[in-house]
Amino acid sequence: MGSLNSRKRLEANRERRLNLDTAAIIQSIKDRFPGAVAEQTPGWVTINKENLIDVARFLKDGPSEFSSLHCLTAVDRKETVEVVYHFYSFKQRIMLTVKVILPNADLVIDSLTPLWGAADWLEREVYDLFGVRFQNHHDLRRIMNPDSWTDHPLRKDFKMAGFIPRPVK
């Protein structure tokens, strides 16, 4: 059991170090782009949508070298849609979660395809499932569903003929 405890301690140390590093990175974003960070929590950082492309470029080409856009998705919060980015830095071994909150009336955001090739399909998927339009995306088409569809199925208010919800007991 001793080894297990020491391992837990090691993990806790690592977690603390990661948090410190993440805080330093967020601080560097704040220094570079005053007013860009709307909210900061231990798990993620919320960025204003106007600053997204600049912050992303800074993250990629700046000292922290977030060379990989690991994951991109969205969460429908009914009044708003959160677009969630997971950036990863192989150099620092840090995963940074960045969120951008879009109001339902204006689901438009800058595309990150000029920076990461991975953004291409991931943004198309978010467009297909949530209806978020990515500006400057070179090929914003539906990826999963037929092109003829008009709805975005992962929205909470999605309705469709032939859709059978699971009966609730």
Using CB under 8 A as the criterion, which residues of the chain lie in contact with another protein when the complex forms?
Answer: 4, 7, 43-44, 67-71, 73, 75-76, 84, 86, 90, 93, 95, 97, 116-118, 120-121, 129, 142-146, 153-154, 158, 160, 163-167
Compute the least distance from the CB of residue 167 to another protein, in Å.
8
Q: Are 109 and 74 in contact (CB under 8 A)?
A: no
Report the residue number, 110 or 120, with the smaller CB distance to another protein.
120
Report the residue number, 63 or 158, with the smaller CB distance to another protein.
158
Three-class SS state of 69 = strand
Q: Which two tokens stand for residue 89?
A: 């830095």
Compute the least distance from the CB of residue 49 to another protein, in Å.
20
Report the residue number, 132 or 154, with the smaller CB distance to another protein.
154
**CB < 8 Å & 24+ apart, contacts of 78-83:** 78/156, 78/157, 79/103, 79/104, 80/104, 81/107, 81/130, 81/132, 83/109, 83/126, 83/132
Q: Are 134 and 127 in contact (CB under 8 A)?
A: yes
Compute the least distance from the CB of residue 29 to another protein, in Å.
19
Report the residue number, 24 or 158, with the smaller CB distance to another protein.
158
**The one-letter amino acid at 150:** T
Compute the least distance from the CB of residue 140 to another protein, in Å.
15
Report the residue number, 135 or 145, with the smaller CB distance to another protein.
145
Compute the least distance from the CB of residue 23 to another protein, in Å.
18
Cβ count within 10 A of residue 140:
18
